[in-house]
Amino acid sequence: MKNFSERLKSARIMKGYSLQDLADALDNAITKQALNKYEMGQMKPDSEVLLLLCNALDVRPDFFVRETSITLENVEFRKLQKLSSKESARIKEKTIDILERYFELEDLLGIDEVFVNPIEKIEINSDEDIEQAVDKIREVWKLGEDPLSNVIELLEDNNIKVIEIDSGPEFVGLSTWEGIKNPVVVVNSTLVLDRKRFTVLHELGHILLKIGHLSEKEREHYCHVFAGAMLIPKNQLLKELGNSRSRISLNELIYLKEQFGASIQAIMMRAKNLSIITESNFKSFITFFSMRGFKKNEPGKYIGQEKSNRFKQLIHRAVAEEIISTSKAAALDNKKLSEFRDELVQ
């Protein structure tokens, strides 16, 4: 176990534990001082210690012998509140763990698909540039002008890994690259669907848009505009609302939310950006929304599906083609062998 020390630290961070937290979870069967020596590479665990650590950290024994090969570049967090360094580290380590298993599975299957940015030649300096970029993406990815049914699956189909991680309200999403060729989007799995869809597309903006020359504030603005434009096609919204409105009813907005899978606030922002409503109309709407307490708890609900089954499909394909054993499949899926066999039976 030449890399046991770094794998132990990674597993501890993924769990959100300090050394003392881990010692407490083990009822001090392993002391904080001993754990520190394991992480420093000064001691090696026996099989009994290894089993205790696996149970406390919710990892399988093979986790500790897996080679560390993933590096995250250009990590950009989107957060609503201050994100603690501990939670930031946990999210990064969890992302690395999932990617390690995902890329290992693809390697076993001989999959080496290349990500291509369809708008890499479009430099962004205005909202009009965003509209041009979105039109190009919809053309290259053959999306037409219909609302997007499954944003996460769309990204995975175009060689962008999307990872969902449970976290608190301070974390929304992030974009990053594994090395220089594999783009990755991470999103808080607890978000309601319309917010999850917007967040995933906002992070996609950080990956696709040529905005490196702009300030952070400008980059965030254009990623917001991009997410709204992807979710709410220009011609479709003009068709629904007309070219100019002085007032839009709440019932109309709820209907549009259910149609586009976008929040009411995102729809109104899109209407403002397309000059369907004025800046003054938009500000009045925001005031009304805030007074009603709708900013945090919007009326209406988007009912859809936001997930990708690609990773699961690849695991079952590898088992069916006898490329991997069921025990290896369980390890890649981070499940106990009995759980994975139950899944096969079902």
Is 24 among the domain residues?
yes
3-state secondary structure the chain: CCCHHHHHHHHHHHHCCCHHHHHHHCCCCCCHHHHHHHHCCCCCCCHHHHHHHHHHHCCCHHHHHCCCCCCEEEEEEEECCCCCHHHHHHHHHHHHHHHHHHHHHHHHCCCCCCCCCCCCCCECCCHHHHHHHHHHHHHHCCCCCCCCCCHHHHHHHCCCEEEEECCCCCEEEEEEEECCCEEEEEEECCCCHHHHHHHHHHHHHHHHCECCCCCHHHHHHHHHHHHHHHHCCHHHHHHHHCCCCCCCCHHHHHHHHHHHCCCHHHHHHHHHHCCCCCHHHHHHHHHHHHHCCCCCCCCCCCCCCCCCCHHHHHHHHHHHCCCCCHHHHHHHCCCCHHHHHHHHHC
- pLDDT at residue 75 is higher than 70: yes
Per-residue pLDDT, 337: 87
Of the pLDDT bands very low, low, confident and very high (cuts 50, 70, 90), residue 336 is confident
CATH number at residue 34: 1.10.260.40
Is 57 among the domain residues?
yes
- pLDDT at residue 189 is higher than 70: yes
**Please, are residues 238 and 245 in contact by the beta-carbon 8 Å criterion?**
no
Please indicate whether residue 221 or residue 335 has the higher confidence score (pLDDT).
221
Average pLDDT estimate for 3-18? 92
Is 143 among the domain residues?
no
- pLDDT at residue 141 is higher than 80: yes
Q: Give, in order, the Cα–Cα distances in Å from 136 to each of 92, 141, 175, 232.
A: 32, 8, 21, 15
Per-residue pLDDT, 79: 61
Is 46 among the domain residues?
yes
**30-55 tens-digit pLDDT:** 999 999 999 999 998 899 999 999 99
**Please, are residues 277 and 245 in contact by the beta-carbon 8 Å criterion?**
yes
Is 246 among the domain residues?
no
Q: Which of 68, 101, 118 is the last residue of a domain?
A: 68
Per-residue pLDDT, 80: 60
Count up the domains in the chain and report the number.
Answer: 2
- pLDDT at residue 211 is higher than 90: yes
**249-261 tens-digit pLDDT:** 999 999 999 999 9
**Please, are residues 295 and 265 in contact by the beta-carbon 8 Å criterion?**
yes
Is 36 among the domain residues?
yes
Mean pLDDT, the chain, integer: 93
Is 184 among the domain residues?
no
The Cα 71–Cα 103 span in angstroms is 12
- pLDDT at residue 1 is higher than 70: no
Residue type, 143: L
With pLDDT > 90 as the criterion, what percentage of the chain qualifies? Answer: 79
Q: Which of 45, 68, 91 is the last residue of a domain?
A: 68
**263-306 tens-digit pLDDT:** 999 999 999 999 999 999 999 999 999 999 888 889 999 999 89
Please indicate whether residue 165 or residue 3 has the higher confidence score (pLDDT).
165
**Please, are residues 68 and 7 in contact by the beta-carbon 8 Å criterion?**
yes
Q: Which of 68, 87, 118 is the last residue of a domain?
A: 68
With pLDDT > 70 as the criterion, what percentage of the chain qualifies? Answer: 99
Of the pLDDT bands very low, low, confident and very high (cuts 50, 70, 90), residue 81 is low
Per-residue pLDDT, 98: 94
**Please, are residues 159 and 153 in contact by the beta-carbon 8 Å criterion?**
no
Instruction: Say what the pTM is.
Output: 0.91
Q: Find tokens 């046991």 and name the residue.
A: 4
How many beta carbons lie within 10 A of that of residue 45, not counting itself? 17
Per-residue pLDDT, 76: 84
Per-residue pLDDT, 65: 83
Full domain range(s) for residue 324: 310-345
Of the pLDDT bands very low, low, confident and very high (cuts 50, 70, 90), residue 133 is very high
Per-residue pLDDT, 205: 97
- pLDDT at residue 2 is higher than 60: no
Is 2 among the domain residues?
yes
